[in-house]
Amino acid sequence: MRADDTPLIRLEDYRPSDWLIDTVDLDISLHPQKTRVRALLGLRPNPAGRPGAPLILDGDELSLSGLRLDGLLIDESAYSATAQGLTLHAPPHRRFTLTIDTQVDPSANTKLMGLYRSSRVYCTQCEADGFRRISYFLDRPDVMSVYTVRLEAAKIEAPVLLSNGNLVAAGEMAGGERHFAVWHDPHPKPAYLFALVGGALDHVRQDYVTADGRKVELAVHVEPGKAGRAGWAMDCLVRCMRWDERVFGRNYDLDVFNVVAVSDFNMGAMENKGLNIFNDKYVLADPQTATDGDYASIEAIIAHEYFHNWTGNRITCRDWFQLCLKEGLTVFRDQEFSADERSRPVKRIADVRTLRSTQFSEDAGPLAHPVRPRAYKEINNFYTPTVYEKGAEVIRMLKLLVGDDAFRAGMDLYFERCDGTAATIEEFLACFAETSGKDLTQFARWYEQAGTPTIVASGRYDAAARTYTLDLAQTTAPTPGQPDKQPVVLPVALGLVGKAGDLPLVTGSAAYAGDGVIVLDQPSLSVAFSDVDEPPIPSLLRGFSAPARLELDLADADLLRLFSADSDSFNRWQALQSVASRALVSAGRSPGGHNALIATAGELAEALAGFLRVQAPADPAFAAQVLRLPVPADIAREIGRDVDPDAIHAAHRSLAAEIGLRLRPHLMELRERLGTSAAYRPDAASAGRRALRNEALGLIALADPEAGAHLAEAQFAAADNLTDRLAALAAMTLVAGDAREALIARFGKTYAAEPLVLDKWLMAQALIAEPGTLDRVKGLMQHPAFSLGNPNRVRALIGGFAANLTQFNRPDGEGYAFVADMVVALDRTNPQVASRLLGSFKSWRMLEPARKALAEQKLAMVAQTPGLSRDVADIAERALA
Ligand SMILES: [Zn+2]
């Protein structure tokens, strides 16, 4: 189907379902090719629906093998059934049951939506609309039902049978070859939260007692032989359950909680009620096969999916336009959990890096859309950084604006009032308006208006009057479909930094909300501070208090003073980033400004030298963030037009190399000091030390390739963990030559049997910023570990290449051609993975004319391919619009 033939689904067209399904009894007999599904639906007319309306059930690639109404066969003239739906033309206007028989082929399901097999394990993925690939259904989130699920399978093939809720019966079938299990979930839920798993799985188990006294059996299920790698996920699960009890007063509500890891999965993980299904990348961890980053991701994602039990499952979304209601809120909750478990400032810096590189770039291109989109053709294309990460920023701003107490009270009210319902953003915000007494009408604009606001700030000091006046203005550039932007509510956390630290903030301005926050909700405003005894340096957007760009023209010297004197850790980090970013933008715009770069490197190195000696050893995780320059993609976005990726890359390299050269003795000394002979531990403090050592290694490798290569080889040989080995490989990829090729080969051989580690190896090679990389990537597609059928392999190698700024954007267009061909090839088997990959073209419009033309050609080629999926057609159409 072509996207332009696909109906546009609009928020304003929402109307309640004409029918409701109170109960669903599923009887599923699992077979690799011929799985039989019988669904017994308890239906009734919805009082809010249209009386006498037909019953129209959704389907996707289904075939009907039996249909009964209240147990009796129905005349064929009373219904029509196609692969895409089942319609009862004139159902009785009363309660009735419908028994629907379908048969599905899990082995042939390469889309990984609905019921499929992954490494011989039966599993499901039903969000957003996968359930309709299992049975005909009212597949929409506002139809919530109580499920009872009977699973049956060959014992040898699927000794473990899991579904949502609690296990109520299990046993053997006559003959002893097959067995069954019956699961009942007492909590009404939409079909997208249905799940089943059947297979041979190992597990770890742990008992848990909730704060309100419920005994829960927790289990993490993994492929046979991998139970030894499930301990960390279990540890994270227990910690996040306690945290949600303590911080949000939320207890778990079933007798069992199962987590299952599968190797073929389109997303990160899925929060199915009581049965979370994970991409194994986000469950399996041991020091030999997972990095510190993996440990942190597992912690965040285990928590995220668990937190959905309340924000997503108990209270779900009325329709998919409200996706951010569950996702933005739950990302905020997992970010807070990680911040409490680790370093809050470091977590914030990491989250803002992600926000800028993924969401700001989305906002700046043709795929920009509001946190709550108003229309879509394919909902799978809206699981985006805007809905997730910007959605979380909106919650963070809400908390800052209403205050901690009213925020917690608002959450409590939301849980109480909306429990068991499918809710909207309006219902959510009403809770906080009520507990805070604030009017949130203008704040709600964050959900409706796309684009990253820019705050333009400037300050004036009047020594005679002892006043400091801060002028703030906001603008948001047009985005597709939204040419004119309204002002949004921007909480600007700030300080005025004097010689001895923060100056008191004395002002009578109505825009000052107290606690160091100005609320910028007008196009522009001025705030005058009095009793200011010295000219201050403004420290704005502390803690990144709003997802905005800040334009504030501070001299490098002032920024460097903020780096050393600001009481806000985030802005200390931001100050150095700003110095580096300004120099890189300038050099990226007009190559040849080498001297200016050298001068900036000198300033940065001087500021860093003292920091590395004195403060870095005390907070290595923060120091590692400080040492890392803004990424080239962020510089490209700041430049915004006529972007030459090679110029940016060259500037980035030379700035890093120059800093590395000047700091080399300090970096070497620091590596010595932080070196440890203790065995690997994944805790945040140990991870911080490794991060700093490895950041130092990267700078040394750029400054002195030969010395870097020696260090990397030695580190690889001596390391007892994957973090240090992978960092050695990454440093080595910066330096062309035989030593690099040898280490790549050695790494590949060492981890030949570990697909998740090989993903990192594939990606490290795909990211090499050299013209030979395209051929290398094509060659690696022939590697025995690579498969186009596995989303993790595809994302690592092909997705890695598409994220390679200089090589994806090769001047000859071959990078675009390769990725476009891959999109078309993948679309035949897995449209979701294909459309994500096509999203790599999202920044094509900002390129210089020659590259822009080549990228557009390839996008057009994709768009014109016959038989395209709706997922890919939609992205191609929007990217070209
Ligand atoms: Zn989620």
513-531 pLDDT, tens digit per residue, is 999 999 999 999 999 999 9
286-340 pLDDT, tens digit per residue, is 999 999 999 999 999 999 999 999 999 999 999 999 999 999 999 999 999 999 9
Percent of the chain with pLDDT over 70: 99
CA–centroid distance, residue 389 to ligand 1 (Å): 11
Q: What string of DSSP letters covers 242-268?
A: HHHHHHH-----SSEEEEEEES--SSS
Q: What is the mean pLDDT of residues 362-371?
A: 98
pLDDT category at 1 given cuts 50, 70, 90 is very low
Please name the residue that has the structure tokens 């490494």. 119
Q: What is the mean pLDDT of residues 337-357?
A: 98
Q: What is the mean pLDDT of residues 67-84?
A: 98
CA–centroid distance, residue 778 to ligand 1 (Å): 34
Name the residue among 251, 258, 303, 310 with its Cα closest to residue 282: 303
Which residues have CB less than 5 Å away from ligand 1 (the ion)? 327
Query: N- to C-terminal Cα distance for the chain?
Result: 18
CA–centroid distance, residue 128 to ligand 1 (Å): 12
pLDDT category at 594 given cuts 50, 70, 90 is confident
In angstroms, the CA 619 to CA 471 distance is 35
Rg of the chain (C-alpha set):
28
Upstream peptide bond of 128 is cis (omega within 30 degrees of 0): yes
539-560 pLDDT, tens digit per residue, is 999 999 999 999 999 999 999 9
564-583 pLDDT, tens digit per residue, is 999 999 999 999 999 999 99
What pLDDT does 590 receive?
Answer: 87
What pLDDT does 129 receive?
Answer: 97
CA–centroid distance, residue 329 to ligand 1 (Å): 9
**Average pLDDT of the residues of the chain:** 97
Q: Is the pTM of this model over 0.75?
A: yes
pLDDT category at 591 given cuts 50, 70, 90 is confident
- Residue 124 sits at φ, ψ, to 5 deg, of -130, 155
What pLDDT does 592 receive?
Answer: 74
Please name the residue that has the structure tokens 């595809």. 794
**Residue 749 reports pLDDT greater than 70:** yes
CA–centroid distance, residue 268 to ligand 1 (Å): 9
In angstroms, the CA 54 to CA 17 distance is 11
Q: What is the mean pLDDT of residues 477-482?
A: 97
In angstroms, the CA 105 to CA 1 distance is 22
What pLDDT does 2 receive?
Answer: 56
pLDDT category at 692 given cuts 50, 70, 90 is very high
Tell how far CA 578 is from the center of its chain.
25
| Residues annotated catalytic, as ranges | 305
243-274 pLDDT, tens digit per residue, is 999 999 999 999 999 999 999 999 999 999 99
Burial 255-290 (b: 16+ CB within 10 A, else e): ebbbbbbbbbbbbebbbbbbbbbbbbbbbbbbbbbb
Considering only residues 543 and 7, tell me which one the structure prediction assigns the higher pLDDT: 543
CA–centroid distance, residue 304 to ligand 1 (Å): 6
CA–centroid distance, residue 327 to ligand 1 (Å): 5
- What does DSSP assign to residue 37? E
Tell how far CA 113 is from the center of its chain.
19
In angstroms, the CA 517 to CA 543 distance is 11
In angstroms, the CA 410 to CA 404 distance is 10
Could you count the other beta carbons within 10 Å of the beta carbon of residue 464? 5
What pLDDT does 3 receive?
Answer: 54
CA–centroid distance, residue 328 to ligand 1 (Å): 8
